[in-house]
Structure formats: structure tokens, C-alpha cells
Amino acid sequence: MRTPLGWLQLRHDRGRFLVALAGIAFADLLMFMQLGFQAALYDSNTRLDRAFRGDVVLISPKALNLQNLSTFPRRRLLQALDVPGVVDAQGLYVRTVNWRNPQTLRSATVQVLGFDPDADVLRLPEVRAQADRLKLPDTVLFDRGARGRYGEVIARLDRGEPVTSEIERRTIAVGGLFRLGASFGADATLMASDQTFLRMFPRAKAGSISVGLLTLAPGEQVAPVVRALRRHLPDDVQVLSHADYVQFEENYWRVASPVGFIFGLGTAMAFVVGVVIVYQVLSTDVNAHLQEYATFKAMGFRQRYLLLVVVEQALILAALGFIPGALMPLWLYAVAAKATSLPIAMTLGRATTVFVLTLVMCLASGAIATRRLQAADPAELF
């Protein structure tokens, strides 16, 4: 085995080595945070969409995202039932509104979903279990994972005490809790019956719904039914499979909103910071050893050998810098998840992505740094 020159050289100057590792760890940390927030953004904003129970989703062609769905005629649900394979059709009313936070008595934004409490439209067992409470007039269920100062409200509800609030100058009773979690688009979500919803928003028309959820017969293929629905229904409604609908929501945040771009840019900048740091360290190291490298060339070592030394150093830095760079986010994710009520956690996929980015970062810096090796001229030694 050859002498591990790159490793010995790195270890020789401990101060510089630690600075390099700290720099890489910091770049990794930045990338982890950016990618983590980005994933949390997509995840939290599609959480309610994913909870919709239905194989096919109908929305207005004007819909942008869950907070801006627009409406389409309720009749389309009945028409959809004409298409073979469709066995059930349910409508959802969705609105974003200001309510009075029962704890602070200040105005806060909430998203309200209205639906038939007898229909099983959401994959949220807590909501299903409390369907009877929704049938009480002007009663809603509140999201335990909401962002904002709701701690006392939740504690009171947990103790079974009544809590009331106000929406559009109408007193609303909070009848129970479920867990969904905040998103970038909505701090909190309320579940209501369709009757309560329509009373809350007198200007909303019962015949105009925001989402249609279609259930297909067991074993029915989704794609052919979607095609049949598109042929059968007029242009004022968009037909999507449930998966495509979730993708539609995610695409809004990824492409149409600036947030996806911002986190992508943040990741790219963290990467560039890492390249600069590693390049600084490696090129300083090459410079500091030019005389020694020239000696090696005089002894008959080829340029390739010295390139390998720099590559070895780059790989060592990448691997050792990644360890603290991946451990720190574990803690920061927990802090961020607590502070923002967003689902931020380490995933194996993201760790792999960042590790690959770190390798690329270090090898790219190493490749730039090796250009300095040309300056090692054995003829200058004597």
C-alpha cells in the first residue's frame, strides 16, 4: 500500500484541517436546511390534498392551489356518476377566512373545509370519529398541529371545556380536535359540515363546490375512467387522478410560487460556498507543498500521482466533513419542526443527495486546485 500522503498532509496541519472540516460541515448544514425546508414545504402543502379520500379529483380549471381553488357547478358530480366505474361523488367547500383566535382574541387566517359529515371524504380517523359533533350547528373541529398561539385553546378542549370563536360575525363553537399540521399556505385548518359552512359564508352558493371527490368501483383502472370523465364532462371542470392532483398542488409551490425557487437557490449557494471553502483549503495546501511536490517529480513521480494526492484529500474532506454536517441538522430539524409546526425531518434520500453533492463539491474544488500543481517544476529545485 502506498503511503497515504494526502491524509498525512491534511493531518499535519491540524488547524487548517479543522477549519476545512468546519467549512464543509457548514455548507452541508446549509444544504440540509434548505432542502429540508423545501421538502417540508412540498410535504406540508400537499398533506391535506393527500388526505382526500377519492380516486379521481375534480377541480375548477381556474384552480391554482388549495388556497385558490375557485369553484365549479355541483351538478358535475351527478354527471360524473353517469360514467361507468364511478360509484360515489362527494363535494368539498374550501375557503380561507379570518377568524378570531380564541386565545389571543386577535384575527388569524384559517382554512375551512365544508363537507357532508355522513360521507367519508378524508383519511383522517379523528375527523371521522367526531362526525356527529360536526352535525351540531355552527360547530367546527380544530387542527391540533396549527401554527400560532393555540396552546391554551388545545389544552381547554382536551379538558372538555367549551371554546368559541367568531367567523364573519358569527359565533362558532370548537367541538373537537384532529391532527393535520400547518402548511405554508394555511396556518390552521377547520373542519365543518356543509351546512355550517354555508351558514358561515352566506354568499357562498350551495351549488358551487371547490373539490369533487370521485370513488371508483373496486378494481377499476383510474386512467381509463379519467379519460371517459374528460370526454363526458364540460370544460368548466378539470379531471385529475388523485396522484396527479397532489402533483398539481406540489407543482404550484415548486414552479408558480417563488418559494420553491428560493430554496433551490439557497441550496445552490450553499454548494458554491462549500466549493469556495474546499478550494481555498486545497489550493493553499498545494501551494504550501509545491517544493515537496517538485521534489517528488524530480524523484520520478508522475503528475498523475500528485493529482491522486489532491483527489484523496478531497475525498477525505468530503467524508469527514459530512459527518458533523449531517448530525447538526438532526438537532436543527427538531428545533425548526417545533418552531414552525412543519414536518421537517432527516430522510435517507436527502442524506444521500447531500453526500453526493458534498463529493461533487470537494472533487470540483480539488480539480480546480490541481491546476496549481503545474507550478511544481523540478528544474527550479537546484
Query: CA nearest 66: which of 44, 40, 98, 35?
Result: 44
DSSP codes, 38-98: HHHHHHHHTHHHHHB--SEEEE-TT--BTTB---EETHHHHHHHTSTTEEEEEEEEEEEEE
One-letter amino acid at 119 equals A
18 sits near other proteins (criterion: CB under 8 A): no
CA distances from residue 119 to 52, 63, 89, 224, 376 in whole angstroms, order as listed = 12, 24, 10, 25, 77
Q: Min. distance of Cβ 288 from other proteins in angstroms? A: 9
Identify which range of 78-86, 90-98, 334-342, 373-381 contacts other proteins by CB under 8 A: 373-381
Which lies closer to other proteins via its Cβ, residue 279 or residue 296?
A: 296
Tell me whether residue 303 or residue 340 sits nearer to other proteins (CB atom): 303
Q: Is 16 in the site for other proteins (CB under 8 A)?
A: no
Choices 31-39, 263-271, 295-303, 363-371 (CB under 8 A): range interacting with other proteins: 295-303
Size of the site for other proteins (CB under 8 A): 24
Query: Closer CB to other proteins, residue 247 or residue 295?
Result: 295
Is 50 among the residues that bind other proteins (CB under 8 A)?
no
Helix axes 14-45 and 303-340, enclosed angle (nearest 10): 50
- Binding status of residue 255 toward other proteins by CB under 8 A: no
Distances (CA, A) of 174 to 8, 113, 130, 181, 198: 66, 14, 12, 17, 17
Among 300, 331, 348, 374, binds other proteins (CB under 8 A): 300
12 binds other proteins (CB under 8 A): yes
Give yes or no for a contact between 224 and 103, defined as CB atoms under 8 angstroms apart.
no
Which residues have CB under 8 Å from 40's CB, separation 6+?
A: 340, 342, 343, 344
Are 277 and 285 spatial neighbours (Cβ–Cβ below 8 Å)? no
C-beta separation of 306 from 293 below 8 A: yes
311 touches other proteins by CB under 8 A: no
- Residue with smaller CB distance to other proteins, 17 or 150: 17
Distance from C-alpha of 204 to C-alpha of 208, rounded to nearest angstrom: 7
Smallest distance, other proteins to C-beta of residue 289, A: 8
CA-angle at 70, arms to 64 and 75, nearest 5°: 130
296 touching other proteins, by CB under 8 A: yes
Q: Write the DSSP string, 112-152.
A: EEEE-TTS--BS-HHHHHTHHHHTSTTEEEEETT-SSS-HH
Residues 263-292 that bind other proteins (CB under 8 A): 289, 291-292
Contact between 375 and other proteins by CB under 8 A: the answer reads: no
Sketch the per residue contact string, 314 through 353, with other proteins: x for CB under 8 A, - otherwise.
Answer: ----------------------------------------
Looking at the Cβ atoms of 7 and 201, the one nearer to other proteins is 7
The residue assigned the cell 436543527 is 332
d(CA 366, CA 154): 54
* Least Å from the CB of residue 316 to other proteins: 13
Angle between helices 14-45 and 242-251 (to 10 degrees): 130
* Smallest gap from residue 149 Cβ to other proteins (A): 58
Q: Is 3 in the site for other proteins (CB under 8 A)?
A: yes
Partners of residue 59 on adjacent β-strands: 211, 238
Report in angstroms how near the CB of residue 375 gets to other proteins at its nearest. 15
Given 228, 301, 340, 367, the residue binding other proteins (CB under 8 A):
301
Measured from the CB atom, the residue of 35 and 286 that comes closer to other proteins is 286
**Which one, 98 or 291, has the nearer CB to other proteins?**
291
Question: For other proteins, which residue of 199, 242, 254, 297 counts as binding (CB under 8 A)?
Answer: 297
- Where on the chain is the footprint of other proteins (CB under 8 A)? 1-3, 5, 8-9, 11-12, 289, 291-292, 294-302, 378-379, 381-382
